[in-house]
Amino acid sequence: MTSFRNGALGAFAAAAMSVAVLSGASAHSKKETTTPPDGAVLEAAPQSIGMSFDKPMRITLIRLTGADGESHDLERTDDMAPVREFEATPGDLAPGTYTVDWRGLSDDGHPMEGSFSFEIGN
- The domain locations on the chain are 29-120
Nearest-angstrom CA–CA distance, 43 and 121: 5
Per the model's pLDDT, the better-predicted residue between 108 and 46 turns out to be: 46
Kindly report the average pLDDT of the chain as a whole number.
84
Chain segment 109-121, per-residue pLDDT in tens: 899 999 999 999 9
**Interatomic CA distance for residues 33 and 56, integer angstroms:** 14
Q: What percent of the chain has pLDDT over 90?
A: 70
Rounded to 10 degrees, the C-alpha dihedral 45/47/53/58 comes to 110
> What is the pTM (predicted TM-score) of this model?
0.76
Q: Is the per-residue pLDDT at 84 higher than 50?
A: yes
Give the model's pLDDT for residue 86. 97
Question: pLDDT tens across 42-66, in order?
Answer: 999 999 999 999 999 999 999 999 9
pLDDT in the model for residue 20 = 41
pLDDT-derived band at 122 (thresholds 50, 70, 90) equals confident
In this predicted structure, what is the pLDDT of residue 1?
52
Question: Does the structure show a pLDDT above 60 at 14?
Answer: no
> CB–CB of 76/100 below 8 Å?
no
Alpha carbon 113 to its chain centroid, in Å, reads 5
Architecture of domain 29-120: Sandwich (2.60)
What would the DSSP string read from start to end of the chain?
Answer: -HHHHHHHHHHHHHHHHHHHHHHHHTTS--EEEEESPTTEEESS--S-EEEEEEEEEEEEEEEEEETTS-EE-EEESSTT--EEEEEEEE----SEEEEEEEEEEETTS-EEEEEEEEEE--
